[in-house]
Amino acid sequence: MTTVSENDHINLLRQHDLRPTRQRIALAGLLFNAPCRHVTAETLRAEVAAQGIPMSLATIYNTLNQFSRVGLLHEINLDDNVRYFDTNTDHHHHFFDPKTNDLIDIPAGAIGLRSLPEAPDGRSVERVDVVIRLA
């Protein structure tokens, strides 16, 4: 009864020193089967519930944070004070629709940044994030 992608996810978890527990495998299944997803703890909880998988909200938060920490997810903060998690961990940018809170990925190469200002004093640039807000 163990599907192919389930085994992939078990390996993925092991590679990141995360025990492949039932709930982590289920969440990996929801997150990593589609190519690029944007979820919050609540949207993910709704999906989990829709599949009838029993899981506490604390586990969803813990798992999102763990996946983030090991680099399987990327965290984004937008207007509403809710954490979004993006399964696309490549460097990229976003369209954001403030009406629906929808996010759409933009590959890093699709936006050309010319003439970035110097970082202050001894600091360096870690990353440049562009959000194109839609009307």
Partner DNA sequence: AGGCAGTTTAGAATAATTTTAAATTATTTC
Partner DNA sequence: GAAATAATTTAAAATTATTCTAAACTGCCT
Residue numbers 15-54 binding DNA by CB under 7 A? 17-24, 40-42, 54
* 81: contact with its own copies by CB under 8 A: yes
SS3 106: strand
What residues have CB less than 8 Å from 25, skipping those under 6 apart? Answer: 6, 9, 10, 13
Q: Is 95 in the site for its own copies (CB under 8 A)?
A: yes
Q: Give the CA-trace dihedral at 105, 18, 49, 53, to 10 degrees.
A: 140
Q: Is residue 61 close enough to count as binding DNA by CB under 7 A?
A: yes
Task: Between 42 and 75, name the residue whose CB sits nearer to its own copies.
Answer: 75
What one-character DSSP code corresponds to residue 20? -
Q: Which residues of 54-64 are buried (b: 16+ CB within 10 A; e: fewer)?
A: ebeeebbeebb
Could you tell me how many residues of this chain bind its own copies (CB under 8 A)?
35
**For DNA, which residue of 59, 106, 108, 131 counts as binding (CB under 7 A)?**
59
Q: How far is CA 108 from the centre of its chain?
A: 16
The window from 4-12, 19-27, 39-47, 76-84 that contacts its own copies (CB under 8 A) reads 76-84
Give the binding site for DNA (CB under 7 A): 14, 17-24, 40-42, 54-59, 61-63, 65, 80-83
| Interacting residues toward its own copies by CB under 8 A | 75, 77-79, 81-83, 95, 97-98, 104, 106, 110-117, 119-120, 123-135
